[in-house]
């Protein structure tokens, strides 16, 4: 199962540093964890970027997640 590691900001909503999720694509991870933690809003999570195994993806949706993957949610970065 993929491991989702929560930032210090998200930990305020989850109360936990990390969780394991049985999902193969990013959108299903969001559904899983927003069901698991009621304070996490599905739509807000979908607005965030994600790092899957260190690869930052700005608008994730159908991204594949391996059982050994490490997933981080992060603020979307823009630029100048």
Would you tell me which residues interact with another protein (CB under 8 A)? 5, 7-9, 12, 47, 51, 54-59, 70, 72-80
Q: How far is the CB of 42 from another protein (least distance, A)?
A: 16
31 burial class (0-12, 13-18, 19+ CB within 10 angstroms)? middle
> Smallest gap, in angstroms, from Cβ of residue 75 to another protein?
5
Q: Which is nearer to another protein, 38 or 79 (by Cβ)?
A: 79
Helix ranges restricted to H, the chain: 8-14, 26-36, 42-46
Contacts of 9 (CB under 8 A, 6+ apart): none
Residue 71 Cβ, how far from another protein at the closest point, in Å? 9
Residue with smaller CB distance to another protein, 5 or 25: 5
């Amino acid at each position: 199962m993929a491991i989702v590691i929560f930032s210090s900001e998200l930990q305020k909503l989850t109360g936990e540093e990390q969780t394991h999720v049985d999902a193969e694509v990013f959108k299903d991870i969001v559904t899983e964890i927003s069901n698991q933690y009621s304070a996490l809003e599905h739509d807000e999570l979908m607005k965030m970027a994600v790092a899957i195994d260190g690869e930052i993806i700005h608008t994730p949706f159908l991204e594949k997640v391996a059982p050994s993957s490490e997933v981080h949610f992060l603020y979307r970065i823009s630029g100048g």
